[in-house]
Amino acid sequence: MEHLSIREIHDRLSELEGWEMHGNEIVKEFEFSNFKDAMEFAQKIGEEAERENHHPDININYNKVTLRLTTHDADGLTYKDFKLAKIIEQLV
């Protein structure tokens, strides 16, 4: 799978609120009212990631969930990362 160009990445990022490019990843932090809500969100992401066969890095710090998306096989960002980011946005 071929990674996206910088222009394609910026075009797709403009469609996603709060996501930022950090190196070869797109990153967003979500904040919840408590640990339980953060864990439930992370569980939903895990289920969707399995369906898409595309797995983000998930960091949970009490009520905050930080997600990092990249396509390791392509050594960069692909349409799969942005597709999963859009799915994740619908879970919030």
The pLDDT score that the predictor gives to residue 37 is 98
For residue 35, give the amino acid letter: F
Domain boundaries, position 21: 6-91
pLDDT at res. 90: 94
Report if residue 1 sits inside a domain: no
Please report whether residue 37 resides in a domain. Answer: yes
pLDDT score of 92: 87
E strands, 1-92, are 20-22, 25-31, 57-61, 64-69
Distance of CA 54 to the CA centre of its chain: 10
At 2 the pLDDT is: 86
41 found inside a domain: yes
Segments of the chain with pLDDT less than 50: none
Q: How far apart are CA 6 and CA 13, in angstroms?
A: 10
Q: What is the pLDDT of residue 6?
A: 94
Q: What span, in angstroms and rounded, lies between the C-alpha atoms of 12 and 4?
A: 10
Number of domains in the chain: 1
- The answer as to whether 51 is a domain residue is yes
- What CATH number is given to the structural domain containing 17? 3.30.1360.20
pLDDT score of 24: 94
Q: Does the residue 42 lie in any domain? A: yes
Q: What is the pLDDT of residues 28-42, one digit of tens each?
A: 999 999 999 999 999
Residue 2, classed as helix, strand or coil, is coil
Spatial separation of the C-alpha atoms in residues 42 and 71, rounded to whole Å? 19
